[in-house]
Amino acid sequence: MQAIVATQSGGPEALAVVQRPEPTPGPGELLLAVHAAGVNRADVLQRRGLHPPPEGASDVLGLEAAGEVVAVGADVEGWEPGDRACALLTGGGYADRVVVPAAVALPWPATLTAAEAACAYEVYATAFDNLLVRAGLSRGERALVHGGTSGVGTAAVQLAQRAGATALVTVGSDRKARAALQQGAEAAIVYPEEDFVERVLALTDQHGVEAILDVVGGDYLERNLRALADDGHLVVIGLQGGRRAELDLAWLLGRRLTVAGSTLRARPLAHKEALAARLREEVWPGFADGSLRPVVDSIHPLAEAAQAHARMESGEHIGNIVLAVG
């Protein structure tokens, strides 16, 4: 089968098409014929040598895919060849075939195209688990989502709306601000031109937001805490601005703030299985009723994965970047 790997740490040109044996599903696993695969920032970091795959994971890139079940391993119930599935992976999505634990596979929503189904799992799982579960965003509350036109950002805005909450977002340009507003954000703050703390406080009558989803880290920590309402929750899911920052603990004590962090890829299978069950029950119905729909920026052939990575690194994309495989 064809697959994409990084032959060395470096730029998009480090990606190469290689031939690999077709995998075989073991007990509790499904083999998918991949139709499309999502491109995530973690893939870019892995290619650069900054985010190595967990022990035992494939060196083939790709953390999510959508495809057709072509073989079922022993002890699998509820799946048959011919079923269509969305897969959450520790690696291997950039390929013709991929094995996925059946416990974390979810049905490919009938309302979604292959490209949309391929980029639904990772971003909605990330946004749901961190904004609605960890941060506890609920009806009538406001969230601040950094990177509001990214794949995770667009998913977070939709999930906030579906929960009866609203989302403010930060974006890098006026073009992205217009897109964020069209996608349902209450306000879009162009961070190179505006102080997001001042704007958040102005928009909330100095109250602040109840939840913040942050992909930046670094010196955003102190600013995020200033933008939070009392009893607010900050969840850090990325470190694009750096991994270190100073924290005035008095902010946490006096205002009862919570700071949390999480990643998805390296979690134990049992954790992912529990998350998949919640997604099936609480998120997947949104694809059927039309309240949720992945935003697709661009679709690239598998052999042009380098162009897809270059698109992501340009920062010009709005929504998700997808590889067409089968």
Determine the pLDDT at residue 286.
98
3-class state of residue 316 by DSSP:
coil
pLDDT digits (tens, 9 = 90+) for 286-304: 999 999 999 999 999 999 9
* Mean per-residue pLDDT over the chain, rounded: 96
What pLDDT does 239 receive? 82
In which band, very low, low, confident or very high, does the pLDDT at 252 lie, cut at 50, 70 and 90?
confident
The region of weakest confidence among 79-88, 214-223, 241-250, 257-266 is 241-250
Residue 316 φ then ψ, to 5°: -90, -10
Please tell me the predicted confidence (pLDDT) of residue 251: 79
In three-state secondary structure terms, 287 is: helix
Structure token digits, residue 166: 């609203």
Segment among 35-39, 77-81, 214-218 with least mean pLDDT: 214-218
pLDDT at 243: 86
Q: How many Cα atoms within 13 Å fall on the side-chain side of residue 236?
A: 22
Give the whole-angstrom CA distance, residue 170 versus residue 104.
Answer: 32
Please give the average per-residue pLDDT across 306-318, as a whole number: 97
Residue ranges and CATH numbers for the domains of the chain are 2-120+265-324 (3.90.180.10), 123-261 (3.40.50.720)
The pLDDT tens digits for 122-137 are: 999 999 999 999 999 9
Predicted local confidence at residue 277, as pLDDT: 97
3-class SS of residue 60: coil
Arithmetic mean of pLDDT, 244-270: 89
CA-CA distance, 290 to 280, in Å (whole number)? 15
Which of helix, strand or coil describes residue 38?
strand
How far apart are the C-alpha atoms of 43 and 118, rounded to whole Å? 15
Q: How far apart are CA 226 and CA 36, in angstroms?
A: 41
Give the H or E element holding residue 253.
Answer: helix 249-255
Q: How far apart are CA 124 and CA 50, in angstroms?
A: 24
Please report which confidence band the pLDDT of residue 82 belongs to, taking 50, 70 and 90 as the band edges. very high
SS3 labels along 141-164? CEEEEECCCEHHHHHHHHHHHHCC
- Which pLDDT belongs to residue 137? 98
Give per-residue pLDDT as tens, 130-170. 999 999 999 999 999 999 999 999 999 999 999 999 999 99
- Sheet-wide strand order for 187-190: 187-190, 166-171, 142-146, 209-214, 228-236, 258-261
Q: What integer is the mean pLDDT of 199-210?
A: 98
What are the structure tokens assigned to 322, written together? 């997808």
Spatial contact of 86 and 46, defined as CB atoms under 8 Å apart = no
List Cα–Cα distances, 162 to 51, 75, 158, in angstroms.
33, 36, 6
Rounded mean pLDDT, 52-64: 92
Total Cβ atoms within 10 A of residue 3: 25
- What is the rounded average pLDDT of the residues 271-281? 97
Q: Name the band, by pLDDT with cuts 50, 70 and 90, for residue 266.
A: confident
Contact at 8 Å (CB) between 135 and 204? no
pLDDT value of residue 138: 97
What are the structure tokens assigned to 258, written together? 């919570």
The pLDDT confidence band at residue 240, using thresholds 50, 70 and 90, is confident
Distance CA 182, CA 17 (A): 37
**What confidence tier does 249 reach under pLDDT thresholds 50, 70, 90?**
confident
At 54 the pLDDT is 87
pLDDT surpassing 80 at residue 326: no
Per-residue pLDDT at 247 exceeds 90: no
User: Would you state the pLDDT for residue 55?
Assistant: 86
With a pLDDT cut of 90, the percent of the chain lying above it is 89
